[in-house]
Structure 1
């Protein structure tokens, strides 16, 4: 850990939370991930050894505690000090959304984007729906499906056995609507996201999807 050797609380806090990947690990913990495997899904380019090191540092500084459980796998949970960073992380996300240029295609990952969308659905449907998604310009896997149920939403790679709603989109169009750069209705109107299926099912899906917690509600 880099030491600034200053008395200033900003400098001392920065020593703990501004090492590479640390804020993203905190972001995943704030979303409720506790298992290493779940945390790793949100930081796929982070090595396992570095994730271990960052969790060890956060634990040593009292931001994270290991949760006792009967299984051998360790679980990690934010302490009161760690949870106190939520407004900091949220405000940093809102700052980035407002002042930084939109992400380019190289910054977009379909799996991470769908994981975000599913984790923050605006509301859940009264009945289960399956959404088949084709991302026309995605590197890697272009076909995904989302299980949208009264208990939650989960993305899966590949084709579903059956689909209630089908969507074809560009990755930038999907990201733009999710990040609040434009509304979902505008994405549909501009055909960067195209839905097909029974009208009531399409309306339900559109009512369920929301926008990122970092998006400006005024522009979303």
Structure 2
């Protein structure tokens, strides 16, 4: 959309105001670089519309794209695109503070665990790979998930990784989202019987510390 104004806010809105654009940039900032990776974090976005938005972002100088035989294979943010990280972070913090918690129908266990996995600090993870087993209730979507934790990465998967399970969490997606976004705490959720944790006490403490909370709830990191 063209606003035809001199104001930089209007100019920026022309680039970022199209549906899905801000979320595509969010995914690129999280490290996604291929269409399948982007689509995983953006269910509901078609490949065709993704290609259109990436073309627009490329034309605006925010994204570079690579193609093979005419098919888009990879993309990356330019310096101008990466400079939007602070903007995306402020949007997330504003939304977490001032908007209502997510509705039950908006909660996807896969997206929630993908977000949690991205937020886990790698330096805090165990040297030997372990897993946390999630059993979600009150959802029509995939109910059993695992979070694989190791020094290499934190990965959410619906396939049993056949690794030692240090903790099992039984809850609704709403209960886990409330804890992750800082609207509730593990202690309160356990007392209210909306979350059930099973495992060795010390292992459970370590796992809860690893999971942490969303970056949009944690204090903002100082610049630089």
Report if TM-score (shorter chain) is over 0.5.
yes
**Pairs within 5 Å for 1:20-59:** 20-59=19-58
Answer whether contact 1:125 1:208 (CA < 8 A) is retained.
Answer: no
Distance of 1:141 and 1:32 partners within structure 2: 25
SS in 1 for 2:193: coil
1:213 CA displacement = 1.1
Match of 2:178 in 1: 176
Corresponding residue number in structure 2 for 1:62: 61
Structure 1, residues 4-54: CA drift from partner, whole Å, max 9, x if none?
A: 111111111101011000000000011111111111111111111000000
Task: From 183, 187, 197, give the equivalent of 2:199.
Answer: 197
Give 3-state SS (helix, strand or coil) of 1:164's partner.
strand
Residue 198 of structure 1, CA deviation? 1.9
TM-score, normalising length: structure 1: 0.90
TM-score by length of 2: 0.89
- Once residues 112 and 46 of structure 2 are traced to their aligned partners in structure 1, the CA distance between those partners, rounded to angstroms, is 20
Superposition pairs of residues 109-148 of structure 1, within 5 angstroms: 109-122=108-121, 123-148=124-149
Distance in 1 between residues matched to 2:216 and 2:207, nearest whole Å: 21
User: Where do 4+ consecutive residues of structure 1 move more than 4 Å?
Assistant: none
For the Cα contact (< 8 Å) 1:132–1:160, is it kept in 2? no
Check whether the contact 2:166–2:207 (CA below 8 A) recurs between aligned residues: no
Which residue matches 1:82? 81
CA-CA distance at 1:73 after TM superposition: 5.9
Residue range with higher mean Cα deviation, 160-169 or 8-17: 160-169
Distance 2:141 2:113 in 1: 14
Q: Which residue of structure 1 aligns with residue 214 of structure 2?
A: 212
Measure the CA separation in 2 of the matches of 1:137 and 1:104.
Answer: 13
Q: Following the alignment from structure 1 to structure 2, what is the Cα–Cα distance between the partners of residues 65 and 14?
A: 20
- State yes or no: 1:150 paired with 2:130: no
Q: CA contact under 8 A between 2:148 and 2:161: conserved in structure 1?
A: no
1:86-101 paired onto structure 2 within 5 Å: 86-101=85-100
Q: CA deviation at 1:187?
A: 2.4
Equivalent residue of 2:127, what SS?
coil
- Partner Cα distance (2:127, 2:209) in 1: 12
CA contact (8 A) 1:35 1:75 kept: yes
Q: CA deviation at 1:137?
A: 1.2
SS in 2 for 1:66: strand
The alignment partner of 1:206 has SS state of helix
The residue that corresponds to 2:6 in the other structure is 7
In structure 2, what is the Cα distance between the partners aligned to 1:147 and 1:159?
10
Per-residue deviation, 1:217: 4.7
C-alpha distance in structure 1 between counterparts of 2:30 and 2:161, whole Å: 27
